[in-house]
């Protein structure tokens, strides 16, 4: 059944993409906008392959992913630590949760100005923006996931003699893992968007910089090609890592369900 659903989902994606490309080509042929403002799919594809063959796009992807890996790892370490501290201390939980929700509502670009003033135009500033983009999503996911563990699980474990560290590591943490992984997934997407935004302003290498490079050339085919690369990287990481991990954990705890057809 899952294989059939996978094939159906793939077919739907191909159909949607075909329709989208058809509309795109139609608008291009109507010549509503100049070519440099609205390139055809073929022009974007040509720019994409040109950027790949020249090495510009691979270097940009590698540079951005390196910054992302550093910033996202820091976000996980700090976010999990703060979230666990909030669980341990009711005072911290009451105090930091509304603060974290408020900070999380900030657009990531808002952190660029303090990052530049504190660190200058360098990788440290971009990593800082990346960390701030993902940190509070991971923090709140850790806190809410553990704090909202079903009392049924906790009471049953206590009746069987579990307490302290055993109760936490073998009952509460596994029960909270679907929520935590979901917020790690959200944190990844926030970190990715934050980094691209920071690179558009501060970087001399990276995908965000390539977006600005295309804009300065007044060549939207380059801009769209880089946007496709950003989309592709995001999809690959999300599908191969987080979606697979989330499905495994949900299945392990009996939460995985087949999609409902309408």
Q: pLDDT by residue (tens digit) across 160-201?
A: 777 777 777 777 777 778 788 888 888 999 999 999 999 999
Query: Which single residue is written with the structure tokens 């999990």?
Result: 80
- Once rounded to an integer, what is the mean pLDDT over residues 93-117? 88
pLDDT score of 99 more than 80: yes
What's the pLDDT score for residue 146?
86
For range 147-168, the mean pLDDT = 74
- Position 111 scores a pLDDT of 92
pLDDT for position 5: 66
Q: What does the pLDDT read at residue 11?
A: 80
As to burial, measured by CB atoms within 10 angstroms (0-12 exposed, 13-18 middle, 19+ buried), residue 125 is: buried
Position 55 pLDDT exceeds 60 = yes
Handedness of CA 210, 213, 215, 219 (dihedral sign): negative
If you ran DSSP here, which 8-state letter would residue 262 be given?
Answer: -
The rounded distance, in Å, linking the Cα atoms of 113 and 59 is: 26
Domain boundaries, the chain: 64-252
Q: Give Cβ neighbours of residue 226 (< 8 Å, ≥ 6 apart).
A: 51, 57, 60, 207, 210, 211, 214
Using the predicted structure, report yes or no on whether residue 254 has a pLDDT greater than 70. no
Q: Spell out the residues 6+ positions from residue 5 whose beta carbon is closer than 8 angstroms to its own.
A: 258, 259
HSE-up of residue 140 (Cα within 13 Å, Cβ side): 21
pLDDT at 255: 53
CATH topology of domain 64-252: MetI-like fold (1.10.3720)
Q: What is the pLDDT of residue 240?
A: 84
Kindly report whether the global pTM for this prediction surpasses the value 0.85: no
Range in 27-31, 62-66, 122-126, 163-167 the model is least confident about: 163-167
- 182-204 burial: b if 16+ Cβ within 10 Å, else e: bbbbbbbbbbbbbbbbbbbbbbe
**Residue, of 182 and 153, whose pLDDT is higher:** 182
Show Cβ contacts of residue 120 under 8 Å, excluding neighbours closer than 6 positions: none
Best-predicted range by mean pLDDT (52-61, 155-164, 172-181) = 52-61
> What percent of the chain clears pLDDT 70, i.e. is strictly above it?
92
């Amino acid at each position: 059944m899952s294989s059939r659903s996978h094939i159906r989902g793939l077919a739907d994606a191909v159909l949607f993409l075909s329709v989208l490309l058809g509309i795109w080509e139609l608008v291009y042929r109507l010549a509503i906008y100049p070519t440099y403002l609205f390139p055809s799919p073929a022009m974007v594809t040509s720019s994409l392959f040109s950027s790949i063959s020249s090495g510009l796009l691979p270097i940009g992807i590698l540079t951005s992913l390196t910054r992302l890996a550093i910033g996202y790892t820091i976000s996980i370490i700090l976010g999990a630590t703060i979230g666990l501290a909030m669980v341990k201390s009711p005072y911290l939980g009451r105090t930091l949760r509304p603060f974290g929700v408020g900070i999380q509502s900030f657009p990531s670009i808002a952190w660029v100005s303090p990052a530049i003033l504190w660190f200058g135009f360098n990788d440290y500033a971009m990593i800082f923006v990346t960390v701030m983009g993902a940190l509070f999503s991971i923090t709140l996911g850790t806190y809410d996931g553990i704090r909202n563990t079903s009392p049924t699980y906790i009471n049953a474990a206590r009746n069987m003699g579990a307490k302290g560290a055993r109760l936490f590591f073998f009952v509460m943490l596994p029960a909270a893992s679907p929520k935590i992984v979901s917020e790690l997934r959200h944190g990844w997407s926030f970190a990715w968007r934050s980094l691209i935004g920071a690179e558009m302003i501060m970087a001399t290498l990276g995908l965000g910089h390539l977006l600005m490079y295309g804009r300065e050339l007044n060549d939207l085919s380059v801009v769209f090609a880089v946007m496709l690369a950003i989309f592709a990287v995001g999809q690959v990481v999300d599908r191969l890592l987080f979606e697979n991990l989330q499905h495994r954990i949900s299945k392990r705890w009996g939460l995985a369900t087949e999609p409902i057809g309408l």
